[in-house]
Amino acid sequence: MQRRELKSMSADQLWNLHEALVVELNRKIADEKVRLDERLHKLCPVEEKHERHAYPKVLPKYRNPKNPAETWAGRGKQPRWLRAELRSGKKLDDFRIARLAG
């Protein structure tokens, strides 16, 4: 299509052309994605997914003395309340939850 032809088209005609182009491009992109997925599957076959191992619940080891509902099991990032207390000079063992033996 020549540039002159586009200039002579009305706004409605240009909009209809735009919509037709969008539909055609989406169809071609979807077809290409399917083709690429098939090629990828041939190159790297997907193995069966294994179910995740169910890990036991981890009991909390540390408790916030200001808010006893806030606990931490000692895994992952330290909670904000604990980081603030440690910055103020307290020790991690100050927040340890005492466990009853046997």
Tell me what pLDDT residue 43 has: 86
Whether pLDDT at 63 is above 90: yes
Whether pLDDT at 100 is above 60: no
Average pLDDT, the chain: 89
52-76 b/e with 16+ CB inside 10 Å = b?
A: eeeeeeeeeebbbeeeeeebbeeee
Percent share of the chain, pLDDT over 90? 70
What mean pLDDT comes out for the span 51-80? 91
Q: Which two tokens stand for residue 28?
A: 């071609």
Tell me what pLDDT residue 102 has: 47
Whether pLDDT at 101 is above 60: no
Side-chain-facing half-sphere of 31: CA atoms under 13 Å: 6
Tell me what pLDDT residue 4 has: 79
Rounded to 5°, angle at Cα 97 from 95 and 102: 155
User: Tens digits of per-residue pLDDT, 13-36?
Assistant: 999 999 999 999 999 999 999 999
User: Tens digits of per-residue pLDDT, 43-55?
Assistant: 887 676 778 888 8
The SS3 of residue 63 is: strand
